[in-house]
Structure 1
Amino acid sequence: MLFTDQMGHQITLPALPQRIVSLVPSQTELLFYLGLADRVAGLTKFCIRPQPLVKQKTIIGGTKNFRFEEIDALQPDLIIGNKEENYREGIEALQQKYPVWMSDIYTLEDALQMMQEVGRLTGTEAKATDLIQQIRSGFRSLQPVPPPISAAYFIWREPYMAVGSHNIIDHILQRCGFRNVFSDLPRYPQITPEQLQKAAPQLILLSSEPYPFKEKHIAEFQALCPQALVKVVDGEMFSWYGSRLLYVPAYLQQVVREVSAASEN
């Protein structure tokens, strides 16, 4: 069968894939959710869910530094990657040898389309459709903060890096009613303390990944923006776009409640 990925590439699969390599943590979790544990042959060192099942699989390197010899040894009949999380040179090298299906995710709808297509690729359409319906239902029930408040979302420290425009985290922030003060900047801009102070967000969110922000870092940002509410949040809930989206609306609703309560005090 002929398939077109989210970057417009076409791949042909003569049969249902039996040796899948996943290059993206959130999509790895999706494959296991769809019941494909016995058909996932390899994954990256960052593919940590679902534990402990991922520990039984071959590690093929990181998301941006593949070990090609490990992938060749697995002889995959399908590789699943992502435009943002993987590196172009590595993907292009794999495309010379194997069917590589690439996702390109900016919104919830993009993520749901990816799930539908992965279901088609792997013969798990029914389970993928049910998953999508559950996720849609969850997000329909999400009540954003009234009224919208300005926010900054940080993913790195030393140097500070925040979330800009055109990515799934910015989209999720909007779903919560959080107006990203750096949405006019590129996807993940480096931010100086002076830029943050000038932007003066009402809310600063510190992500648990990729930099492992902890409660101890709150004071650092509070000193820069004394007027802001500063919170550490679960980065997976804002950036993983696979089956984890099942649990995201309830988590976001709790964050919205906490922010609303704090702003009323």
Structure 2
Amino acid sequence: MTSMPARFPERIVCLTEEPTEVLYALGEAHRIVGISGFTVRPPRARQEKPKVSAFTSAKLEPILALQPDLAIGFSDIQADIARELIQRGVEVWISNHRSVDGILGYVRRLGAMVGAAHRAEAYADALAARVERVRQAAAQLPRRPRVYFEEWDEPQISCIRWVSELVGIAGGDDIFPERAVASLARDRILATPDEVIPRAPDIVIGSWCGKKFRPEKVAARAGWDQVPAVRDRELHEIKSPLILQPGPAALTDGLDALHAIVARWAARH
């Protein structure tokens, strides 16, 4: 007698952090059998689950040994990993959400995939309400600063769409909104550091994925002594796990960090 197939995936490999954070939040961590090595949220995941992937590479044989019935990744950057897993018979879901609304939709879709649709709806609604509270608080600020958010320094890459939107929700204005809507990182690369100078950001926020932000290095860029943020020492860091993952962290701790920086600036000006 053959057993009936499981109604929902029971052995999930998370190739990025956001599905891990969502599944833990929904009480579905027992379905996870492997995670990304870059996972830091929730902290217990690193102690409980084997790390089987980076962001652009993965340990194929250890993943297959876990006998996953679903692997979850993000964006075209993980296309090669997805293709290899598909060729070896693993079902793969690659999400490509890049906005605040996209993150909320992602939570709902992932919850439905594991049979937790109602909990996912409630969780997404709570996240949305938290975002709205910050938006309303930011609307009370007396001034909106111009913000340059830098994802990487060599080459300089400005922020992706959900970060740009969160800057606006937090009370600031992204100086490169036209770049934020580009789906690929290469389309957000600045041709030269001089591009920032005429846009005169009041605040510079660095979130250099995988390495520490160095404000003194930013301040030393040629011509940047003219930039208000450098002149006023408004050079800040938000750790990349809080803001550069398109998951709950960005809408909670990441947004809170953005709003705190903007609110302090507004209070001083």
TM range (shorter): 0.7 to 0.9
1:108 alignment counterpart? 100
> Structure 1 residues 179, 249: CA separation in 2 closer, same or farther (over 3 Å shift)?
closer
1:227 alignment counterpart? 228
Q: Are the aligned partners of 1:20 and 1:76 in contact in 2 as well (CA < 8 Å)?
A: yes
> SS at 1:141's partner residue?
helix
2:153 alignment counterpart? 157
In 1, Cα distance between equivalents of 2:205 and 2:43: 27
Q: Are the aligned partners of 2:170 and 2:255 in contact in 1 as well (CA < 8 Å)?
A: no
- 2:56 is aligned with what amino acid? K
For normalisation by structure 2, the TM-score amounts to 0.81
> SS at 2:34's partner residue?
strand
1:251 alignment counterpart? 257
1:19 alignment counterpart? 11
- How far 1:249 moved relative to its partner? 4.5
1:10 alignment counterpart? none
Please say if 1:173 is aligned against 2:167: yes
In 2, Cα distance between equivalents of 1:22 and 1:46: 11
> Structure 1 residues 250, 161: CA separation in 2 closer, same or farther (over 3 Å shift)?
closer
2:31 alignment counterpart? 39
2:86 alignment counterpart? 95
Percent identity over paired residues: 22
- How far 1:176 moved relative to its partner? 2.3
Q: Are the aligned partners of 1:43 and 1:60 in contact in 2 as well (CA < 8 Å)?
A: yes
> Structure 1 residues 191, 261: CA separation in 2 closer, same or farther (over 3 Å shift)?
farther
**Cα deviation code 1:220-246 (max 9, x no counterpart):** 469544422322223333333323234
The worse-fitting range, judged by mean Cα deviation, of 174-183 and 219-228 is: 219-228
The worse-fitting range, judged by mean Cα deviation, of 110-119 and 96-105 is: 96-105
2:120 alignment counterpart? 128
1:211 alignment counterpart? 211
In 2, Cα distance between equivalents of 1:230 and 1:224: 12
Q: 2:266 aligns with which of 240, 256, 260?
A: 260
Bigger fraction of residues in helix:
2
In 2, Cα distance between equivalents of 1:120 and 1:246: 22
Q: Are the aligned partners of 1:218 and 1:232 in contact in 2 as well (CA < 8 Å)?
A: no
> Structure 1 residues 162, 49: CA separation in 2 closer, same or farther (over 3 Å shift)?
same
Q: 1:64 aligns with which of 56, 68, 73?
A: 56
- 1:203 is aligned with what amino acid? I
Please say if 1:75 is aligned against 2:67: yes
> SS at 1:81's partner residue?
strand
> Structure 1 residues 103, 248: CA separation in 2 closer, same or farther (over 3 Å shift)?
same
> Structure 1 residues 83, 45: CA separation in 2 closer, same or farther (over 3 Å shift)?
same
Q: Are the aligned partners of 1:151 and 1:205 in contact in 2 as well (CA < 8 Å)?
A: yes
> Structure 1 residues 38, 22: CA separation in 2 closer, same or farther (over 3 Å shift)?
same
> Structure 1 residues 140, 240: CA separation in 2 closer, same or farther (over 3 Å shift)?
same
In 1, Cα distance between equivalents of 2:94 and 2:11: 17
- How far 1:62 moved relative to its partner? 0.8
Stretches of structure 2 lacking an aligned partner (at least 5 in a row) = none
- 1:169 is aligned with what amino acid? V
The worse-fitting range, judged by mean Cα deviation, of 124-133 and 64-73 is: 124-133
Residues paired across the two proteins, number = 248
- 1:110 is aligned with what amino acid? G
> SS at 1:106's partner residue?
coil
Stretches of structure 1 lacking an aligned partner (at least 5 in a row) = 1-12
Q: Are the aligned partners of 2:103 and 2:248 in contact in 1 as well (CA < 8 Å)?
A: no
1:5 alignment counterpart? none
In 2, Cα distance between equivalents of 1:52 and 1:216: 34
CA RMSD of aligned residues (A): 2.5
In 2, Cα distance between equivalents of 1:201 and 1:191: 17
Q: Are the aligned partners of 1:138 and 1:250 in contact in 2 as well (CA < 8 Å)?
A: no
> SS at 1:71's partner residue?
helix
In 2, Cα distance between equivalents of 1:207 and 1:236: 9
1:6 alignment counterpart? none
